[in-house]
Amino acid sequence: MKNFTIFAIFCVALLITGVSASAQSSGGIVAVVNNDVISDYDLEQRIGLALVTSGVQRTPEIEEALRPQALNRLIDERLKMGEAARYNIFIPEQEIQNAFARLAQDNNMSFEEIERVLSQNNVTVESLRAQIVADIAWSRLLEGLFLPQVSISQDEITQAYERAVDARSQTQYFVSEIVLPFNSAADERAARENAYRLLHPLRTGTPFAPLAQQFSQSPTSASGGRIGWVVAGQLEDEIDRVLPLLDRGEVSEPIRTSNAYYIVQVLDKNESGKPDPQLDIIRLARVFFPLSPDADRNTLAQADANVQRLYVEFSGCANGSELANSVGAEFNLLDPVTLTQLPPQVRDQINKSSVGRLLPPSRTNEGVEVIVLCERKPNQIASITPQEVERGMIEREVELLGRKHLQELRSNATIELR
C-alpha cells in the first residue's frame, strides 16, 4: 500500500462528512445542529478518516482521544455548510472533479487507488467528496464575506515590514500549530480537554501534520499546521514565551491564549538570526522502482533501463508523476523540511544539486529509490517582501473575522447532544 500519511498532507483540511439516508439509518444520532442530524455513522467515518490519514493504529485509547474533537468539528462544519447554503454558495461539479484530480496527482494515486485505501479502512468516498465540497464552499464564503471588509493602510504595512526586517537578527523558529478556539467558559473547558486528548497521540508517535490537518481550526491546517519561520512578536505572547523552551522537533503542552488553545511544534531553529542556506525550506519527491531482492537478471536489466530512461527524460516535478508511471515507478511528493532535518549524505547531495535535478539512485531491499529536489526556498524571514507582509496581514484578518463569524453561528444555533 502507498504511504497514506502522504495522502493526508494534501487533503487540505477536508473535514465534513455528508449525511445520507443510509448513514442516518446506520446507528444512533449523536447530535442535531439546527435540525441537521449527525449520526453515529458520521462520527465513526470522521474518526476513521483521521486514523487513516494520520497512519495511527486504531485503539480504544486513540478513539477516545479523537472522538470529542471529531464531534466538535462535525458540529462546526454543519454550521459552516448551513451558512454556505444561506448565501447560495454553489460548487460546480468540474471544480469538485478537479480537486479529486489534484489529490490523486499529488499522491501519485488514481481515483480507484484512493477509493481502495479508504474502503480498506471502512471510510466512504462519498464522505471524502462531501468534505471537498465543504472545504471549497467555506473558503469561498470567507472570501466573499470578509475580503472586501479588510482594509490595511500603507503605514501599517510599512511598520509591519520594518518590524520583519528588524527581526532578521533574532532567533527564528520554524513552527507548526494546532488551534482550538473557544468563545465561552463551556467552550474553553471543551477546547482544553480536546487539546490534552490530542496531546496523547502526538506524544506517542503520531505525526503532527495529519492531526493538525484534521483538527486544527485555522487556515494553516491546509498545510498540516505549518506556519513557517517566525520570530518573537509575530505570534501571541503566550506562545512566544514557550518557543525558546522547545528543542527541535519537540511538541508543546497546550498553551492557553485569550481565545484559543494552541499546541505548537518547533521543527527547526536559526539561533544566529542570520540567513543560513542550511535552513532553506526543501521540497523533495521520491521516485521508487519496486524490485524484489531475488530479482532475476532480465528483471534487473529492465529496471536499470527504466532508471536510465527516468534520468534522460525527467524535466521537472510537474510532470514527474506521469513519467514515473510510464517507467513502472511510484512518484510521491514529500513534506517540506529544512536542510538540517535531512540525513547528512542527502544534505550534501542537495547542496551540490539544483531544483529539478535527480540525486543519484540508491538500492534498498524493496527496490531502487531516486530523490528529486523539487523546490528550495530561503528562510522566509530573511527574504520577506512588503507584498508578502501585506498578504499575510490580510490572511490573518480574514481568518480572525471567519473565527468570529463561526462563533456567532454557534451562539445562535440550536445544538442538541445525545
- Domain boundary assignment for the chain: 4-148, 167-275+398-417, 278-377
Closest CA to 35 of 23, 22, 19, 15: 19
The predicted structure's pLDDT at residue 358: 92
Distances, alpha carbon 115 to alpha carbons 111, 119, 126, 213, 372, in Å: 6, 6, 10, 20, 28
Residues 6+ apart with CB under 8 A from 106: 10, 333
The predicted structure's pLDDT at residue 95: 84
The C-alpha cell that represents 338 in the structure block:
529544512
The predicted structure's pLDDT at residue 108: 54
The predicted structure's pLDDT at residue 139: 85
Q: What is the largest CA-CA distance in the chain?
A: 70
Q: How many CA atoms lie within 13 A of 353 on its CB side?
A: 21
Tell me which residue has cell 501534520.
209
CB 136 within 8 A of CB 80: no
The predicted structure's pLDDT at residue 87: 93
Superfamily of domain 4-148: Porin chaperone SurA, peptide-binding domain (1.10.4030.10)
The predicted structure's pLDDT at residue 370: 92
The predicted structure's pLDDT at residue 104: 67
The predicted structure's pLDDT at residue 243: 93
**Which residues in the chain come in under a pLDDT of 50?**
1-26
**DSSP line for 127-140:** HHHHHHHHHHHHHH
**Class for the domain spanning 278-377:** alpha beta
The predicted structure's pLDDT at residue 15: 32
Distances, alpha carbon 123 to alpha carbons 69, 120, 127, 221, 302, in Å: 18, 8, 7, 21, 38
The predicted structure's pLDDT at residue 17: 34
146-178 per-position pLDDT tens digit: 988 888 899 988 888 887 777 667 788 889 999
CB 399 within 8 A of CB 145: no
- Quick check: do 167-275+398-417 and 278-377 share a fold? yes
H or E segment at 39?
Answer: strand 36-39
Q: Looking at the domain 167-275+398-417, which fold is it?
A: Chitinase A; domain 3 (3.10.50)
